[in-house]
Structure 1
Amino acid sequence: MNIFFQLLALFINFVIFLSTFMKLKNKLNIVYIILLLFQIIFVFPILLELILGVQDYSYKSPGFQKALTDITTNIIYSIFTIIIVVILYLMGNKRETTRFSISDIRETLSNLKIRREFYLLSVVLMFIPLIFALFSPSPEKYFTEYAHFQRFAFMATDSELWYHQNFMRIGGFISLIFILITKLFSKETAFNNFLIILATIITGILNGKRTLFALIVFAILSVDILKAPRGRFPIKKVVSGSLFILIFFLAYAFIIDKHTANVTTIDNLRLYFFRDVDVKFSIYALLNPKEYKMFDYWGQSYLYNILFYIPRSFWPNKPYPYDIYVTASALGYSPGTIISWNFQTSLFGEAISNLGWLGIPFSLFLLNKFIKISEQTKNPIIIVLCIFIIMFSYMNHFGAYRNYLIVWILLVLTTKFKIIP
């Protein structure tokens, strides 16, 4: 029965994929883009399971292993992927009939102007991590060793760690935003592409973490998609960019020895790049509340998302980000137990864990509103950031992308009140 639903889910998704891809080639649509992203992150793992078998996480996470091998959970997961994809497809079709088409972004980009002074400032700020590294307590650790603070954090002084975790993290965030802006407003010349690629490499190396590197590449690909001529979806750039991210993640894992013990390389990659495990565990925990307790009360991690800015010193019982609860529950600990690392999670897993089955329509409602607001601004920066944030929400918890969401909110407000064009 499980195989039947898996094959049904793959068949329906394949048909919708073909239709969506053909539509996307001729008419750009945010919903179609996030639909394809959903299929990569949540549906493709079903095919991998049929080909490679169920992942073996029995040593690392008994909770995940139970969810992966539970027939009822897997059937519900297959139905979940069908529901999400069908609704996203219908949402995309509905947007094709609206007066404003996201394809108008190409025309907007061609007409949109930026002051030369601000453009030059954007180019400079792409390289802000380089400036921060030069003024760090130990510049040589950035320029002579890759990922020093990921590999040898135990050897660093408190001031070095503080600087890296604050200044360099902020520098990476600023660099990503201005790489995006520079890419949006620059002409397609060899020199401009060289500067953007150089800034990406420098930021990725100095940051020392693979996630930021991958996010910058994804942001660049998002701009390429928006700026592509009608009927010419940049499939070669998307494929080559995706392969680059995959190869880089593999190399990074071996360089700093960041791989899960007693888990094969393939299973490790499946755990890192896809989120079927996260959603399946949320479903399994919902079906078996006496066996796995995620929260002390419903909506606990959502409360953190809404009130994250309140200092914990003022609120000792303040909830934690969702990934802390998932990791604790999957390992058999009590809710909110903090350990030195956490599993990565997703928007859908968090929604199901917080709201039960109502989490599925709620998450779709949030996506629809988020996209609708972004489209209404007709601002290409906001639209690219919208796609970027949704992709991030597919891959991680709210705390990981909240800074980008804050930037999105500020941009929407300034656009709405005509503070910026």
Structure 2
Amino acid sequence: MLRNQEFRSILIKIMIFQLIFASIGFIIINLTLNKVNVSIIKRDMAFVGNIIKNNPELKEELIPYITKKVSRENIITGQDVLQSYGYNLEMNKKNQPLFENSHYNLQILLPILIFLSTIPLGILIMIEYRKVYTKVIEVSNAAERVVEGDFSIHLNEEGEGDFNILNHQFNQMANRLENSLNRLKEEKTFLKDTISDISHQLKTPLSSLIIFNDLLLENQNMELEDRINFLEKAKTQLDRMEWLIINLLKVARIEAGAIQFKRDRVLLKDVLDIALITLSDRLENQSLEIKGNMDGIFYGDKDWTGEALINIIKNAIEHGKGEIEVILDETPLFSTIVVRDNGEGIDKKHLPHIFERFYKVSSEVKPESIGIGLNLAKLIIESQGGTISVKSDKNLGTEFTISFLKRVIK
């Protein structure tokens, strides 16, 4: 409790207060005792003077009884004589002539002193209580402002004591609440934007499906070839919708922290194999060159990293001109996968936005591109502690580089 600044302050002030009034009490009692002492001396002087005046020969015998310690025998003899006059050891101090004024004064002064001591003590308690109460009100008002959404309040947390600790914890709580509310607002905005984007992305294929369906229903005599053509277009739109929904679910799971990425020792070639097997049909008409370190490794999740690489190679297929180069490399610090294409390239103004969700670069090669694959790839790579970058030259092609720092092992 002595570490508590408020308690220590009150304790020191009460000790000073008690010391002051104890000193005053000591002075009053000492003055009273001095007065009693003077009265005793005067009475002894009068007693000796009266006896010696009438019996001078008793001087030498009488003086030792006043200046030295008397024997118990003489005390008993004197007690027997004075008993008959009501003067004994059990006599009330009120009847003691020497205490007549001193006893009365002491009985009055001590209660007055005690009473007067309660006044500054009460004032002291009120002052200290007001200090504590003021701090409590300060915390209460700050809490009310935080509840109302005002997070600019900051309580003083300098110094020692429980209130400074409380203020520090309150500031931490306010900061956490503010961060939580900001995250909720961001998530709400993100959800709103995502729903709007999904609605926009689904609107086109749904509209096409409705048109195809209406045409098939209205024209019962449609040629088989035309009917098959409409059905194939409908299937394309359905595949597009399916791909969009599946990838949006993956994005949502990653951003919600629902995916626990593994930290396994993985060959770079194994990740590439996942992508090549998945995209085998679309790679048939492509010139694919793989080179580099086939034994290179990294630490991460093989399946999810394969998912990211699928989207990057798929982008190279869609926007390239038939030539794709994949380079696997490993250094003492990094493991990298580089994917190059010989496509039309990307303008520099678009490069900072290329990984944004639903961001599409104007392209005649793939006008129906949705713009979510690269965003998903970036989320997967960065969630494992890796990085993904892009560089591109107009009409020369684009290069994506995935890098994993080898010391990031959990």
* Structure (1/2) with the larger helix percentage: 1
What TM-score, normalized by structure 1, do the two folds share?
Answer: 0.22
Higher relative contact order (CA 8 A, sep 6+): 1
What TM-score, normalized by structure 2, do the two folds share?
Answer: 0.23
Structure ID, larger Rg: 2
* Structure (1/2) with the larger strand percentage: 2
